[in-house]
Structures are given as C-alpha cells and as structure tokens.
Chain A
C-alpha cells in the first residue's frame, strides 16, 4: 500500500469553525490531491499540488484552501466550515501528471453540525 496517512480520521465540528485536514506521504511523490466524496457524486477534485508551494484549483474549490510547504505534507483548510462541507475527504498521490496512477489515503470523515 502507498504510504499515505490522513489525519484526523474522524472529526465533528460546528458551523463557522476553521478545520484543517492533513495528508502525509512517504513516497516522495510530486503530485498530491484532495477529493471529497458524497453519495451520487463519486469523487470530486477540490485542489491539487504539483510541487512545493505549487497548487491549483479543482472542480469544487470554493470554501477551501490548501498549502504545501514540504513535499510530504498537503494541508486542506476550511476557513469557516459549513454544513454543506460535511463529507468524506480523500487525499491521493501520484508520481507523475494526471495520466499516472493515483493512490488514495484512508479518508477523513468530517461532520459539520
């Protein structure tokens, strides 16, 4: 299995609070991705990174920000969480551009009350 660790694995928080999810990899891969998974929508890309300090938006980036200060860590921040952001969040890594296999972490289940 790819060396990907997501933390926390579960979190419950209140509307309006800031939330940060962490993705840590030990594979030294250049590309890292954040997805959210909701019933009926599959996996939707939030943001991705193609190197340290290099990030770009995905399909559903509104309300989210990311940072990557080290190759191994990619952080996803909800500045002011809303109930619509209740979801399961997956991090993925890849050794190359989009036509290379992506491998997923175990996910973070986030509930916003």
Chain B
C-alpha cells in the first residue's frame, strides 16, 4: 500500500521568509496530492491540491510542485505571515482508489 513520508517535522522561519515542506510517496500509481492546514484545535482544511498531469500549481502565496519520476511533492509558502503558523499535512491517493494516505505532519512556526 501507499506510504507517505513528510519532512521536516518542525520548521521555524522568520516572518517574510519562505517555507518549504517536502513529501515522498511510495506508490507510483498515486495521482492526487492534497495539502491540508490545521490550526490548533481546528479541523484540517484543504489549501491546495495537485494531480499528476500537472507539475506545478500556484494560489497566491502558496504553490505545490510535483516530481513524478522521483515520487516527491513539495509545498512552498512565500512571504510567510504569523497566521501561517499551523500544522501542515500532505497526502496521496490513487486515481481509482478511495483512500487518502497522510504524512505525519509539519509544525510550521512563523516568528514575527
């Protein structure tokens, strides 16, 4: 089955700097890769997703890149702000599968 590894487990950046979180997956059949943001005590919220027919996707200050050959994908946050502080989860799923497999999460702290 699919296995997703996420790094780093914690990340501290200064306000205004960029943050990058990386995930690797094991099943080459996976083709859907969402990212979730979870604030303390809240539900995970989808912030961006990408499918395997696309190499990069952007939405304002966040972007996701996908390298299918190497089986890894990354979340990039530019111009970080204190409100970006949260836990971020990556996940992977096969096209005709019904199961998302999540990484263990990254705690992002943005210091002002």
Contacts and interface: CB of A to CB of B under 8 A. Distances in A.
Interface of A: 31, 33, 40-45, 48, 50, 56, 58-59, 90, 97-107
20 contacts: A31-B98, A33-B100, A40-B104, A42-B89, A43-B44, A43-B91, A44-B102, A48-B99, A59-B101, A98-B93, A98-B94, A98-B95, A98-B96, A99-B31, A99-B51, A99-B96, A99-B97, A104-B44, A105-B43, A107-B43
A97 B96 contact: yes
Nearest to B52: A99
A45 B101 CA distance: 8
Contact of A98 (B1, B46, B97, B102): B97
A102 B98 contact: no
A43 B89 contact: yes
Contact of B43 (A41, A99, A106): A106
Closest 8 CB pairs of A and B: A99-B32, A42-B102, A98-B93, A104-B43, A43-B102, A98-B97, A98-B98, A42-B104
A103 B31 contact: no
B97 A97 contact: yes
Interface in B8-28: none
Contacts of B1: 59
Nearest to A6: B43
A64 to B, nearest CB: 15
A109 B19 CA distance: 30
B100 A98 contact: yes
Contact of B105 (A33, A42, A58, A104): A42
B98 A97 contact: yes
B46 A101 contact: yes
A33 B98 CA distance: 10
B99 A58 contact: yes
Nearest to A40: B104
A102 B34 contact: yes
Given A43-B44, A59-B101, A98-B97, 12 more contacts: A33-B100, A42-B6, A42-B103, A43-B89, A45-B99, A90-B44, A98-B94, A98-B100, A99-B51, A99-B93, A102-B34, A106-B42
